Chains A and B, each alone.
Chain A
Amino acid sequence: MQTQKCKHQWEMVNTNPGFILTEACHKCSQVSTYFSREDNPPFEEYRDGEHFWNVMASAQSVRFDLKCKLCNTLVTFDELSSLLLCTGCKKDCDVYRLMEKYSGKRIWFYVAFGFKPYADKLMLSDEKIKILEDYYNQRRDSTNSSIKIVSFEMIDDPDSCAGEFIIDSSMLLLAPPEKK
């Protein structure tokens, strides 16, 4: 995927809705997440190798690719699970230090999360993260503020990150909304 001198104008294509499913194996209690295009997430326990996977939670999400309007390059984002708005929850986190450095310049920091177990799942390359960042900045009027996207690998323990995930959880829930 070479990106020569074209000054890319990205647009979102092949958007299809689905579910991000969080599963746990009740044998070794390992947690795994993946994107499922099925309309109704499967709830029966299933066996895969020596794991017994059980769906713990599901949230609505959307898969998409980015295509350059000028040179038609297509970039897929199957390694991206969801974006998280960094709210500076931990002082010793690298993303927090980055935010401190740019504070006052109205730059909002988002973290691109992959799928668990992070280690053996395909990682989003820095190049793709840059393309994602350009896409969103092109979509907004960047004169008064812009966004910066970083990889979750900057965070030592991604599971304890307390920012705001952009993900539709509890859409199917029937419990009436509570004052949070």
Chain B
Amino acid sequence: MHLIWLIPLLPAFGALVNGVVGVRYFSKRTAGLLACATMAGALALSLYAFFELLTLGPEAREYVVRPLTWISALPLQLKDGSIGSFSIPWGFRLDPLSAMMILVVTGIGFLIHVYSVGYMHGESRGAYARFFAYLNLFVFFMLMLVLGDNFVVMFVGWEGVGLCSYLLIGYYYEKKSASDAGKKAFIVNRIGDWGFIIGMFLIFSVFGTLDFREVANAAGSMPVESAGFGTLSVITLLLFVGATGKSAQIPLYVWLPDAMEGPTPVSALIHAATMVTAGVYMVGRNAVLFSHSPETMQIVAIVGVATAFVAATIGLVQNDIKRVLAYSTVSQLGFMFLAMGVGAYAAGAFHLMTHAFFKALLFLCSGSVIHAMAGQQDMRHMGGLKKHLPVTYVTMLIGTLAIAGIPPLSGFFSKDEILFRAFQSNKIIWGVAVVTALMTAFYMFRLMSMTFFGTYRGPAFAGAGGHGHADTGHGHASAGHGAAATGHGEWHGPHESPKSMTIPLLVLAVGAIVAGLVGVPAALNGSNDIEHFLHPSFSVSAVGGTHEGASAELAEAPEGSEGGSKGAALSGFAHASRPKAAASSASAPATESEGIAAGKLAAAASHEAVPAEGGEAGSHASWAVEIGLMLLSVLVGITGMLVAYRFYVRTPEIADRLAQRWAGAHRVLSNKYYVDELYDATAIAGTMASARGLWVFDAKVVDGAVNGSGWLTLFSSWFSHVIDKYVVDGLVNFVGAVLEEGSFVFRRLQTGLIQNYALVMLFGVFAFVSIYLMSR
């Protein structure tokens, strides 16, 4: 565990070698091997650290290692006028949350590296190494992000992943669309980062530190800002702006769909599994701050659900297979933020993990499909690929079921948990979320249908039906076209991908199935392990608890001390929802007042606590509710799938008819609500205008001044030139002339005989000694 600082360094090493040496000299094989090896090493280390962490007690599961200091101590003035020392160590913090994150990052990262070895096979040698260098670099920064023990180190990773995503989206930089998408992603992210940075400044000026744990303790000691909009709310809001940028929430989600220009493994790793979840992670990491500002929580929840809904609606009508997945990613992220917003941090993080699995799986499958279709991404030209790509089909089906929330696949547990918490917190939000879930199931299965079921609509290929081609034999040839995103050359029709691609698919599929089992809710007699595991990360540390009541209650809320439900409120109802905790909090009528004091969130808590008066009965009630919700969500998922199947496989014309019927809506949706156009019209146009203005200023005023000074210089130099020529040179030449004349006389002394010169010295000696003698 003390080696966690090594985990990021391994990929960094890989990136360095591949980027510096590899681009020139490495064969594809070497580059790929190196990258995968570093990832495997990082994975092994992470697992080791993780299990070491498990051996500790639940509340003691926190390990900080600070190998170096980055900024030793910078005196800066704080909000209260006192002078704080701004000191940043290169600190790495391993606690349940970051442990989960590093497992996700390294694990899925490793699989995707392996996958890329096959997928990028057609690249030229240098580009291949470049790709892996970028990928490794990304993993390095991602690990920095999740392992950093203070905001600044986290921010390093934060910016780094932004950079890498820019590099990787623009990987095919010859393609204009690709490079544009890269720029778009970069700029939009910067907007978010602006918020993040301001938030960091504010945090430092308020708390005088940037260390997560200290900030959390300090914030835990502050009163909950239920009344209105206070400092904490501002801070959290700013941080949330950053999160929206990184995690593609409204209003900054526009970059993610375009980011699909990058190679598919990149989309899978960065734009589905890891980087885009950084925002969620960040919110979770600062759970205590957020818990203390209900206002922000509310905003987060609303933004989250809105994003989920909007993205889902757009996803309904997209035809580009990767864009569909992109929008589904956005919407799933929306779900996570919803969870965060209603205080269900554990649930959000849980969904983050499961989503990482099945969304990475889905992307990789789509990559495999695209690869099979030689770069074709439009689903309208696919279909009936089931028999050509059996493995891909099966795995993708699993992924779809998972995301649609069909038990017992992973998606079900996490999403259901979120829905349940939403239900407890706010019925409207819950309703929207359910509709979104329905749409999710619908468009995902629409994707499946258009891709795998029905009849083959793609371009004709030699020996159509190509049973003989379903093997990996032709992998290389058309892998090249697939990666180069151009269908030319001989193409033997859709075919299964090489082993290096299918094996990660299978592994991820298994992950997508079982990942949920760590979070089986109590209602299904499961012990919600992941929640217990993650709980310490979202609460004020037990250490801090000794001096701070709220955190103390947090620590022992499950044991139902008085005010347990306030703790519950802070730690996101983690306890009130569980029968045991509910029964315990029944023994505390004080919960109501506490809960009200705890504001909107607590309202839900009290609402939970009131039926809990009846002890067992209360628990039964909540149990019934929970089960009901589960059944509902399952029902919703299945409905969506059936509808989609009916629309797109049985009678495809229905879809078209619907499109005709609501042509307007359809147009709006397929144009993504014209959001991009809106931004163009407002933000970008404004920027351009101001830039032009500045340019005019520059050209007229600044350049004018510069040229003026230039003329001045010219004149003065001409003047000094005259002086130099006639006065100075005159003197020099005069001296020279004198010497020249004199030399004619004196050079006769230069006989070139050393002894004559010595003789002169001897004369000198003689003279001196004579003088001495005379002076006697």
Whether A and B are associated in the same complex: the answer reads no
Interface residues of B (CB under 8 A from A): none
Interface residues of A (CB under 8 A from B): none
